[in-house]
Amino acid sequence: MIEALRGDIHKFDLELKLSGEYDQADAILTVQSGAGGTDAQDWAEMLLRMYLRFAEQQGYSAEIIDVSPGEEAGIKSATALVSGQYAYGYLKAEKGVHRLVRISPFNAQAKRQTSFAGVEVLPNLNFEQDIKLNPAELRIDTFRSSGAGGQHINKTDSAVRITHLPTGIVVQCQNRRSQIQNRDTALQVLRARLLTLQKAQHKEKISEIQGEQKDIAWGQQIRSYVFHPYSLVKDHRFNIETANVQKVMDGDIMLFFAEYLKEQ
């Protein structure tokens, strides 16, 4: 009972720190592979699984709305909508470059490989009245969905890609069953991106919300995950670490969120 109470108090203490303007919003999370070839694409998929497991543990709902598979394994990129109270407040700590060190399963010589993936997190702000989309400023393309799909999903051009011409922002959705559903979801993501930038009136505010854009490569990482020659996950921003790599990869990442919120 004491341990359960301690956990409840710790969770409540974190929620007291979630006082940012968008912290209670749902989160639009994008994982993109970086330097490292096939290993990086596999690493991006591993990170995506980590966040989906975290969402499951928190009782959040998580839906993958777009995914671009890798040529051999993993994913080039994927976008998920994570819904639940404080989803953005927690996941905003993950913006940045994540580095993996391990024995590569894709290397015939079983050499150690370093690979990278980037994470972007935006709040999902459902204020359609605040952002008016001019149809003349949108280029909407349809294409056939990739991946396994269902009975109809890969037989029609149901996937949708929307380009906002004034800003160059591109969003796409392909995992819903109909073109109309994919279009509505893509517009939802586009509104979230545009409204976030609209509310950010200063350049510094834009950097705070969107995260500093860096190359997904060496020297830019916020966190390192070492599988070999030892086990260690280290967050370079706060100099905190844990040797239980498997626990982290199974979604137990509240340790890093707590430190991020404390620093904020």
> Which residues are CB-neighbours of 68 under 8 A, at least 6 positions away?
75, 76, 77, 78, 146
Q: pLDDT band at 209, cuts 50/70/90?
A: low
Span 212-225, pLDDT tens digits: 556 676 668 999 99
The better pLDDT of the pair 208, 186 is held by 186
pTM: 0.79
Span 47-89, pLDDT tens digits: 999 999 999 999 999 999 999 999 899 999 999 999 999 999 9
The structural domains of the chain, ordered by start, are 2-126+203-263 (3.30.70.1660)
Model pLDDT, residue 207: 56
Residue 218 has, within 13 A of its CA and on its CB side, a CA count of: 4
Span 104-118, pLDDT tens digits: 998 878 789 999 999
Element of type H or E holding 26: strand 26-33
Model pLDDT, residue 201: 47
Percentage of the chain exceeding pLDDT 70: 85
Instruction: Residue 93: name the closest of 199, 202, 240, 226 by CA.
Output: 240
